[in-house]
Amino acid sequence: MSAKIKLNAANTGAVINRNIYGHFSEHLGRCIYGGLFVGEDSPIPNKNGMRTDVVEALRNIRVPVLRWPGGCFADEYHWEDGIGPKESRKRMVNTNWGGVVEDNSFGTHEFLELCEQLGCEPYINANVGSGTVREMAEWVEYLNSEGDSTVVKKRWANGRKDPWNVKYLGVGNESWGCGGNMRPEYYADEFRRYSTFCRNYGTNKLYRIACGPNAGDWAWTETLMKNAAAFCDAITLHYYTVPTGEWEDKGSATEFDSEMYYATLRGTTRMEKLLEGHLAIMDKYDPKHKVGLIVDEWGTWYNVEPGTNPGFLYQQNTMRDAMVAAINLNLFNSHADRVVMANIAQTVNVLQSVILTDGDQMLLTPTYHVFDLYKAHQDATLVPVTVACDTVEGVQQVTASASIKEGVLTVTAANVAADKAEKVVLDIAGFDVKDVSIRILSGDMHDKNTFEDKERVTIADFTDFEVTGEGVVLNLPGCSVVEVTVRG
């Protein structure tokens, strides 16, 4: 049968928070060092140490928010080690990730400079696991206060007069695991204690983010919401797509058969059950929906590229990853009433990156192009869709979401079947369709960009469609993602 995506543009839902298109950058492998930051003395073109090629590419997909400094690294990070003259900054060994020396040359000022260059909001994830309440409270004071205090004077001495007014504050990361192996009752109390002393300064109101569950840990959500919902603005969810389901051997990023391809897609669609399950628990304790859900780590996790440091989590990225991105972003859009942010892991050179670098070379991954195809959804109003289609190897063949902004309707859809083209009918009511343009990303499931062939997978204009009495009718190739722009 052909697939049908049905929508009524007059029937709208919530505004899609632009932060759903957020990113995550940890002191891990070559994400920060080499990926985003090369230092001012580098021969690689940079502005105040930030790679100009990478910043420009990220600006193009309108990165709205960037989470830092971890991940597991966050709960070993002591912010004072990363301020002041670089030559006297403390050196440490990054025991979480590859055992390499962290010289703290990228710290608070550098991160906030990066966010300014990207034009995005900073999301700082602070240390609960090995930190203190005082340390976190003083970091917030350093960031946001204008008061004539010793902490603020230190910021002035380090060259920054005005406060940054950082809004998003994560209180611990994976506190159920690498962030301290805490029990939910204990963490909920710790969250309450830590966040009490993180003050609002001036007109800046902190958005306090509590560490939520790992995947399907319903009990964590239950206990956290019961004990801390009144004190937080959002809780987090982490879920990675591991094709084999085995952490010891997760599968290759590039060498996989169609069985593994579909296993990956089946694994990633679990996100829907996770969102619905955790939101249902949250509803019990927060019927007025004051607490948002932030999926601040998501994406694929494979075995590292052969020959690379296993602690650096460097992996290639294929059209399979593009399908994973399309499925998840459509799901987040569809839950825009409760999902207030999501941060793919991780921006550059780590896990499901949007960018890979090699020395002064940079390439955009298939996942990058999906973020490009979806960027019109940022701050647009959701138009709920219903999709009628086949399933293939246990996966819904067509996934879609739609939104409207300033009179322009955007539909994003993917045909995730590895190699089966599908006739897709876009049945649009409540909108006078005058002009349609379509951009597509397509290829074989294994297709990827390499430093030898950087543009193998890229966005193209798509003309294989017509506007008929049925709607917009597309012949969508297998393993493809489209952005359909409809003007009235």
Residue tagged active-site, from 141, 297, 422, 483: 297
Q: Do 441 and 459 touch, CB atoms closer than 8 A? A: yes
Shortest approach of ligand AHR to residue 296 CB, angstroms? 9
Binding footprint of ligand AHR, residue count (CB under 6 A): 10
Looking at 198-335, list the stretches that DSSP marks H as alpha helix, in order from N- to C-terminal side: 218-228, 258-285, 319-334
Q: Do 216 and 274 touch, CB atoms closer than 8 A? A: yes
Q: Is 422 a catalytic residue?
A: no
Give me the amino acid identity at 194: Y
Query: What is the C-alpha separation between 396 and 417, in angstroms, rounded?
Result: 9
> Is it true that the peptide bond before 346 is cis, omega within 30 degrees of 0?
yes
Closer CB to ligand AHR, residue 96 or residue 410?
A: 96
Residue tagged active-site, from 141, 174, 190, 422: 174
Q: Is 26 a catalytic residue?
A: no
DSSP 427-445: EEESS---EEEEEEEE--T
Three-state DSSP at 229 gives: helix
Closer CB to ligand AHR, residue 5 or residue 65?
A: 65
Q: Does 70 bind ligand AHR (CB under 6 A)?
A: yes
Give me the amino acid identity at 464: D
Closer CB to ligand AHR, residue 74 or residue 331?
A: 74
Shortest approach of ligand AHR to residue 3 CB, angstroms? 34
Task: Give me the residues paired with residue 440 across strands.
Answer: 460, 482
Best CA proximity match to 315, nearest among 391, 416, 220, 243: 243
Q: Do 371 and 22 touch, CB atoms closer than 8 A? A: no
Query: What is the C-alpha separation between 414 and 401, in angstroms, rounded?
Result: 10
Shortest approach of ligand AHR to residue 69 CB, angstroms? 10
Shortest approach of ligand AHR to residue 313 CB, angstroms? 6
Contact string 136-175 vs ligand AHR (x = CB under 6 A): -------------------------------------xx-
Contact string 174-213 vs ligand AHR (x = CB under 6 A): x---------------------------------------
Does the CA dihedral 295-299-302-304 come out positive or negative?
negative
Shortest approach of ligand AHR to residue 24 CB, angstroms? 7
Q: Do 382 and 333 touch, CB atoms closer than 8 A? A: yes
Shortest approach of ligand AHR to residue 75 CB, angstroms? 9
- The first and second tokens of residue 42, run together, are 């580098």
- The first and second tokens of residue 133, run together, are 């309440």
Give me the amino acid identity at 24: F
Stretch that binds ligand AHR, among 36-44, 66-74, 216-224, 352-360 (CB under 6 A): 66-74
Closer CB to ligand AHR, residue 173 or residue 367?
A: 173
Shortest approach of ligand AHR to residue 32 CB, angstroms? 13
Which residue minimizes CB distance to ligand AHR?
71
Sequence-ordered list of residues with C-beta below 8 angstroms from that of 26, at least 6 positions apart, any chain: 32, 68, 69, 70, 71, 72, 73, 74, 97, 345, 346, 350
Does the CA dihedral 110-114-115-117 come out positive or negative?
positive
Three-state DSSP at 284 gives: helix
Residue list 16-45, contact with ligand AHR (CB under 6 A): 26
| Residue in 72, 323, 409, 441 binding ligand AHR, rule: CB under 6 A | 72
| Residue in 29, 34, 35, 71 binding ligand AHR, rule: CB under 6 A | 71
Closer CB to ligand AHR, residue 72 or residue 376?
A: 72
First to last CA, the chain: 29
Residue list 257-286, contact with ligand AHR (CB under 6 A): none
> 């999926």: which residue's tokens?
295
Contact string 313-352 vs ligand AHR (x = CB under 6 A): --------------------------------xx----x-
Query: What is the C-alpha separation between 470 and 410, in angstroms, rounded?
Result: 18
The angle, 0 to 180 degrees and rounded to 10, between the axes of the packed helices 52-60 and 108-118 is 50
> 């580098």: which residue's tokens?
42
Closer CB to ligand AHR, residue 234 or residue 486?
A: 234
| Residue in 76, 102, 121, 297 binding ligand AHR, rule: CB under 6 A | 297
Residue 165 backbone dihedrals phi, psi, to 5 degrees: 55, 55
Closer CB to ligand AHR, residue 155 or residue 238?
A: 238
Closer CB to ligand AHR, residue 104 or residue 315?
A: 315
Stretch that binds ligand AHR, among 69-77, 274-282, 285-293, 315-323 (CB under 6 A): 69-77
Stretch that binds ligand AHR, among 68-76, 132-140, 278-286, 417-425 (CB under 6 A): 68-76
Closer CB to ligand AHR, residue 26 or residue 372?
A: 26
Which active-site residues does the annotation give? 174, 297
Q: Which residues bind ligand AHR (CB under 6 A)?
A: 26, 70-72, 173-174, 297, 345-346, 351
